[in-house]
Amino acid sequence: MSEQTYEISTTLDVTGLMCPMPLVKARKAIMDLEVGQVIEVLATDKGSIKDFQGWAKVAKNVELLAQNEKEGGDTTIYAHVVKRTK
């Protein structure tokens, strides 16, 4: 993941969904973006961390810019920031 600034174009809230749904919904949502736009995906499934890393390695149309943990009350929220590249 590169150190850069980015502007989030949209946020997709998939909290409460378990694998593979956060990634499935993100893959669908990324196709609605223009090339260069950035989506932030909010998930509660800890497995989404590795899912998004794997997706970014094999997909030819995305770049994983950042992954962060945010406290969401009793639940940890995992924020994945993905850029559409093609």
Domains of the chain (ranges, CATH numbers): 10-69 (3.30.110.40)
Mean pLDDT of 44-57: 97
Q: With cut-offs at 50, 70 and 90, classify the pLDDT of residue 71.
A: confident
Question: What is the percentage of the chain residues whose pLDDT exceeds 70?
Answer: 94
pLDDT above 80 (res 2): no
Among the listed residues 17, 19, 29, 49, the single catalytic one is 19
Sign of CA dihedral 42, 44, 48, 50: positive
Helical spans, DSSP H, in 1-86: 21-30, 48-58
pLDDT 10s digits, 14-50: 999 999 999 999 999 999 999 999 999 999 999 999 9
- Catalytic, 19? Answer yes
pLDDT for 9 equals: 97
